[in-house]
Amino acid sequence: MSILVISDLHLSPEEPYGLAAFTMLRQKWAHACSDLYILGDFFEAWVGDDDNTAFVDATVAELQAWKKQGVNLYFMAGNRDFLLGKRFAERVGWTQLQDPQVVDFYGLSVLLSHGDLFCTDDKGYQRWRRYTHSRWLQRLFLALPLCLRRRIAQKARQKSKNYVHLVDPVKMDIVSDTALAWMKQSHTPVLIHGHTHKPGYHIYYQDKQPFTRITLSDWHDAAHVLVWGRTGHYLGSITP
Ligand SMILES: [Mn+2]
């Protein structure tokens, strides 16, 4: 049995390929895996658990199919879907994780995070993150009528698209020192995260100790996964 870790599917009704790829991953891997960790930006946008659409229902059915195949589901929010709440969690039966969170992968302590927490060179973004993570503001937003929330989210996405073009991409990346500090503080030699859409391994040595940061891929062109087994792991894409 293996553990699967994924992130940044950015599921949306405009791009149904993502959900189809998620189904394909289940058909190929669910029988061989015990746990599925989703590290944020599962949805492209989320404005509240009351926003029920046919697409949401189809995604819920897909997550329930994973559960039915005996896979434990864990979800950590990203910067797109941090409003996914308890009601949705109850529908799909996943366990919600804090960001960051230390987990045990076959006796190894691993730090999981969406990843935006480590983009500390981007002060403007960190301000926005603090703002959107404040409980009272979230409650205030969720109290607005659904149509208004949808409109605000649409505007925010547009703003984010423009922002990405304005800011130096280096500034938006993970700051190695920040990630390393979190790993040391959490006593975890491994960090797994998404968010940057730049899959790969980063290995640091400090005080003669190796620290590994594994970045997951987004699902823009294919289903991407980290398969973590007892004897090794694989980071890459799954083809139909
Ligand atoms: Mn993200």
The CA 120 to ligand 1 mean position distance, Å, reads 14
CA–CA distance, 111 with 101 (Å, rounded to integer): 6
The CA 208 to ligand 1 mean position distance, Å, reads 32
pLDDT in tens, the chain (240 residues): 999 999 999 999 999 899 999 999 999 999 999 999 999 999 999 999 999 899 999 999 999 999 999 999 999 999 999 999 999 999 999 999 999 999 999 999 999 999 999 999 999 899 999 989 999 999 999 999 999 999 998 898 888 878 777 777 777 899 999 999 999 999 999 999 999 999 999 999 988 999 999 999 999 999 999 999 999 999 999 887
| pTM, 2 dp | 0.95
The CA 143 to ligand 1 mean position distance, Å, reads 24
The pLDDT value given to residue 160:
80
Around ion ligand 1, which residues have CB less than 5 A away?
Answer: 41, 78-79, 195
The CA 101 to ligand 1 mean position distance, Å, reads 16
The pLDDT value given to residue 231:
92
The CA 35 to ligand 1 mean position distance, Å, reads 22
The CA 185 to ligand 1 mean position distance, Å, reads 23
The pLDDT value given to residue 156:
85
Give residues with Cβ within 8 angstroms of 192, minimum separation 6.
5, 39, 110, 111, 112, 113, 214, 216, 226
CATH 3.40.640.10 fits 2-238, yes or no: no
The CA 15 to ligand 1 mean position distance, Å, reads 17
The CA 177 to ligand 1 mean position distance, Å, reads 20
Q: Give residue 209's region: left, alpha or beta (phi > 0; psi -120 to 50).
A: beta
Residue-range domain boundaries for the chain: 2-238
The CA 44 to ligand 1 mean position distance, Å, reads 9
The CA 116 to ligand 1 mean position distance, Å, reads 6
The CA 8 to ligand 1 mean position distance, Å, reads 7
The CA 207 to ligand 1 mean position distance, Å, reads 31
